[in-house]
Structures are given as structure tokens and as C-alpha cells.
Structure 1
Amino acid sequence: MSTSVKSSAKNPSELKPVLEEHHHALQVCSRIREGLENDVELERIRAYMNWFQKNYLEPHFEIEEKYIFPKLGYNVRVKKALANHRRIRKLLSCGCADEKVLNLLEEELSAHIRFEERILFKEINNKKELAEIEKQHHTISFSGEDWEDQFWA
């Protein structure tokens, strides 16, 4: 799987903080897959996902919904991105440690990131709008190593 960092060369440099956050989210998806493949207790993976949602994903979604999506208008692609956010939140809110739910969560999150980077963000080409997005966006500090139970290692 290619990472968002490699694909970011095609996106404007002003979106670099968002793309770096996407790279981290793709790492989390990889960790979910590794955990499932290695039969890690599902509760451990779910606990990591709850931490990730609270400390990283919700702030990231808020930035996109507040500063990026409005720049694109309320078109069909923005509606799809918002629907993706709702589905991901719903999967995270179930609170269950079900393998099917975790698989679906990983698939939804990684597909959503690819959609934003390959399709949605390509629509932002106004330099003034890009500069405003960059100004409003504060990179969310993320380190999976902050999580004490590194089940993927």
C-alpha cells in the first residue's frame, strides 16, 4: 500500500499538515491489520482505537469539517466525505471488540483517506483558500508510541 506521504507530491504544499495526519492514520490502519493477523486480543485493539479517536481522529475530523470542506462547497464529494466521517464515527462508537467491526473500521478509514487525497483535495486549487487552510490548521501531535500497549510491535 502506498502511503499518503508519497501521494502528497501531487497535492498542494499547504495541505502538508493534513496529509501528514493522514499518513499517521494509515499507520493506525496497518496496526489494526497487524493486530488482527497476529490474533491480538480484540479488546487491546479496541482500546487503542478509542485512544486514537479521542486524541487524534476527532480533532482531525473537526479541522476538515470546519476549515477544508466549507472551501469546497456542499457538493457530492463533500457529502461523501461527511458520510464517511459519520460511518467511521459510528464504527468507533459501538464500543464492541468485534473482529468484523475492526476490519470494517480499518477498511473504511483507509478508503476514506485515499478518497480525500486522490479526489477531494484535488479540487482545492485557489491559493488564497489553501493559504487560509494552512493558517487555520494546527498539526495534531501524534505518536503511536505514546500508547503503552504496542501490540503491533
Structure 2
Amino acid sequence: MTTKPIKRHDAIQPISREHHHCLLLCWKIREGFKKNIETERIAKYTNWFWENYLKYHFSVEEKYLFPILPAQDKLVQQAIQEHSVLRGFFQTPDKTEETLTQIEQKLVEHIRFEERTLFNAIQECAKADQLQLVKEKVILEFDTEWEDEFWW
């Protein structure tokens, strides 16, 4: 039995595309460990990704997307709590292999939750003006240039 693809509202599609870049980060972390790359090299890329991309992504979700649902909604509370946990891992100054493994695992789980559960709930109750505001705030360009492509 095949699973029917989720139809994402146009305004949320860019966030889903950003999630693809996040999943690529997770893949790069896994590949780095498979290739026995030094933790510092993987951490440097992870730090760059956080500072230049993911921190803003979380902010957009928290300021413009999550408030479409009530603040006390269990799904919103879960997403905010997961963001908090991930922030803690990303902001750890001296990342160990364990820290990077936690980032990889928790980020994959978080993205799956948002894509499969939270975004569906948001789409069901969102008004057009709320979705338009989300669309205006999403980063559409992602700079993938990184000199140390340790994952290849």
C-alpha cells in the first residue's frame, strides 16, 4: 500500500523546501561520521548552518506559522519544546560526536512531526491572510556553497 503524498498549501511549500535542506544537513552529519571525518569539521558546518539558516527558519515558524493555532495547542507546544531542545544542541559551543548525533536524530524527528502532523493541522484552520504573511517571511534562497564538503 502506498502513502498518498501530502498536499501542502502554496504558502507553506517554501518551509517544506527549507525542511529538505535541514534533512540534507542530517544526511551530511551521518555521512561525515561514516567517513570518519573529524568532529570539528562537521561541527563547523553545523554551526554555519544554524547561524545562517536554521535560526531564522525557527523564528519564522514561531512568529508567523505556529500562532495560526492557539498557543496552548498541544502540537504547537510540542513544536516549541522541540525547537528549544534543538537550539540547546546547536548552541553548544564545543560539539562532541554525541551532540552532533543528537542534532541529526532530533532534527529528523522534528521535521517529520511538523510535516506529517503540525502543518496539516495548521492548514486546516489557517486564514488566507495568515498564510500570506508566512509566505512573505520565508527565506527563498539557500546558499549551499561550503568549501569543506566533507560529506562527499
TM-score between the two structures when normalised by the length of structure 2: 0.88
SS at match of 1:21: helix
Aligned residue pair count: 145
Distance across 2 between alignment mates of 1:92 and 1:25: 13
Shift of 1:140: 4.4
Per the alignment, residue 44 of structure 2 pairs with 47
Q: For the aligned residues, what is the CA RMSD?
A: 1.6
- For the 8 Å contact 2:31–2:151, the answer to whether it is kept is yes
Moved more, 27-36 or 123-132: 123-132
Q: Does 1:148 align with 2:141?
A: no
Per the alignment, residue 74 of structure 2 pairs with 76
Per the alignment, residue 67 of structure 1 pairs with 64
Distance across 2 between alignment mates of 1:141 and 1:51: 16
Q: Deviations over 1:123-143 (max 9, x none)?
A: 122341323322x32324223
Distance across 2 between alignment mates of 1:13 and 1:140: 13
Identity level (%): 41
Q: Does 1:29 align with 2:30?
A: no
> Which 5+ residue runs of structure 2 have no aligned equivalent?
none
Per the alignment, residue 101 of structure 1 pairs with 99
TM-score between the two structures when normalised by the length of structure 1: 0.88
SS at match of 2:111: helix
> Which 5+ residue runs of structure 1 have no aligned equivalent?
1-5
Shift of 1:102: 0.7
SS at match of 1:55: helix
Output the amino acid matched with 2:97: E
Per the alignment, residue 19 of structure 1 pairs with 16
Shift of 1:64: 0.3
Structure 1 or 2: more helix by fraction: 1
Shift of 1:103: 0.7
Q: Does 1:58 align with 2:59?
A: no
Distance across 2 between alignment mates of 1:96 and 1:72: 36
- For the 8 Å contact 1:29–1:106, the answer to whether it is kept is yes
Runs ≥4 residues deviating over 4 A: none
Per the alignment, residue 83 of structure 2 pairs with 85
